[in-house]
């Protein structure tokens, strides 16, 4: 007897197949569904996209091959049940505002019919959390300034030249964490052996998660004042843009360490530069307001700033995780098992900077 497998349309750029898809991942996908569309290299028009979705139960979308998931597209794809997207802007390319009810991309009946998943952040959470930890350790040893002196032969052996900054070992330091999503939670796990005194600010994370992590929740100002090392790890939204402004930066104790490996515009760059120029803090920065960082940026010449070019997420051997985790979600769905990374209207609302209960 022939068993019909559900059709899954792949709208993935060629670079995705080259970099993220392994033979094992592809074989797993084929084990429970019929993937179609791999040969497509030209972007679909909306009409072509609707035609391609006929009889399709699942859709994986990454890159520019597929047009936006508008109301017209979704209501003309009657068999579609599951959409997987890779996009840390949560919901980009989905017409969430098209019709009633609010935050739904289509009618109430269709909204209940189609499920969305996004694995972008969970797929990269481990390498980013590890790089945050590395930045913390490097800042404690003033590596930015020490390295500069090593290069020009003016180093002082056995000294890190950071007596005026938070320094030494990480163990039992006071740490503030702004943002307790996937990356923040993984960082908390990594910090466990160091027995740090941790306070967390995240207005969206549930009390259940806080209890499971065993951390102390506090307001933003309290977390900033508490921190010898402050880690900012939030998504960029209308509410988080500039959330670390001059007022907040001035709440930091003198000599504190600031780590930002999330998004540059979360921190007020001119205010940060002024703080660094006065040698009031050390900063570990993997992200910037403008990327690439302008060659004449004052940040490049400041010895108390450790800079890397947005590499926190980059772990080549782990890139397969982006595709593999999406395949796992699709497999769970078709088996009728609970999903782990469903994209909900609440998440989309948070990314839009809206108030959510």
167-186 burial: b if 16+ Cβ within 10 Å, else e: beebeebbbbbbbbbbbbbb
Dihedral (CA of 262, 267, 273, 275) sign: negative
Question: Residue 105 is encoded by which pair of tokens?
Answer: 């991309």
| Region class of 90: left (phi > 0), else alpha (psi between -120 and 50), else beta | left
The answer to whether the CB of 80 falls within 8 A of the CB of 59 is yes
How far apart CA 322 and CA 293 sit, in angstroms, is 27
How far apart CA 281 and CA 59 sit, in angstroms, is 47
Q: Which residue, 21, 259, 35, 219, is CA-closest to 135?
A: 259
Beta strands in 168-225 (DSSP E): 174-178, 197-201, 216-217
Catalytic residue among 279, 310, 320, 332: 310
Total residue count of the chain as it appears in this document: 357
Q: Which residue, 73, 9, 70, 78, is CA-closest to 38?
A: 9
> Is residue 263 flagged as an active site residue?
yes
Question: Residue 21 is encoded by which pair of tokens?
Answer: 């898809």
The answer to whether the CB of 8 falls within 8 A of the CB of 29 is yes
Question: Residue 251 is encoded by which pair of tokens?
Answer: 């709440």
Catalytic residue among 247, 291, 301, 337: 291
Beta bridge partners of 85: 61, 118
How far apart CA 303 and CA 180 sit, in angstroms, is 30
Q: What is the dihedral of CA 101, 103, 108, 110, to 10 degrees?
A: 150
Catalytic residue among 125, 217, 225, 263: 263
Q: Which active-site residues does the annotation give?
A: 263, 291, 310
């Amino acid at each position: 007897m022939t068993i019909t497998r559900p059709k899954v349309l792949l709208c993935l750029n060629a670079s995705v197949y080259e970099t993220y898809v392994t033979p094992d991942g592809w074989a797993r996908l084929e084990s429970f569904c019929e993937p179609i569309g791999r040969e497509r290299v030209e972007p679909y028009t909306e009409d072509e996209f609707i035609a391609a979705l006929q009889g399709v139960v699942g859709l994986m979308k990454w890159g520019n091959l597929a047009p936006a998931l508008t109301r017209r597209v979704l209501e003309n794809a009657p068999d579609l049940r599951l959409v997987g997207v890779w996009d840390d802007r949560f919901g980009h390319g989905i017409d969430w505002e098209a019709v009633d009810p609010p935050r739904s991309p289509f009618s109430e009946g269709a909204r209940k019919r189609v499920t969305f998943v996004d694995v972008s952040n969970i797929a990269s959470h481990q390498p980013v959390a590890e790089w945050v930890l590395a930045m913390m350790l490097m800042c404690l040893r003033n590596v930015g300034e020490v390295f500069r002196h090593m290069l020009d032969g003016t180093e002082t052996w056995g000294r890190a030249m950071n007596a005026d900054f938070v320094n030494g070992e990480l163990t039992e330091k006071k740490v503030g964490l702004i943002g307790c999503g996937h990356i923040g939670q993984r960082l908390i796990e990594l910090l466990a052996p160091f027995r740090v005194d941790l306070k967390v600010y995240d207005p969206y994370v549930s009390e259940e998660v806080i209890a499971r992590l065993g951390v102390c929740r506090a307001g933003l100002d309290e977390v900033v004042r508490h921190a010898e090392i402050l880690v900012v790890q939030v998504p960029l939204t209308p509410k988080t843009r500039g959330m670390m402004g001059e007022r907040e930066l001035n709440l930091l104790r003198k000599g504190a360490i600031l780590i930002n490996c999330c998004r540059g515009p979360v921190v007020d760059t001119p205010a940060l530069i002024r703080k660094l120029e006065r040698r009031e803090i050390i900063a570990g920065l993997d992200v910037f307001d403008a990327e690439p960082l302008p060659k004449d940026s004052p940040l490049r010449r400041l010895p108390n700033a450790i800079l890397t070019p947005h590499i926190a997420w980059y772990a080549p051997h782990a890139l397969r995780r982006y595709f593999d985790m999406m395949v796992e979600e699709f497999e769970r769905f078709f088996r009728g098992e609970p999903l782990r990374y469903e994209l909900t209207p609440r998440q989309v609302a948070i990314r839009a900077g809206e108030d959510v209960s």
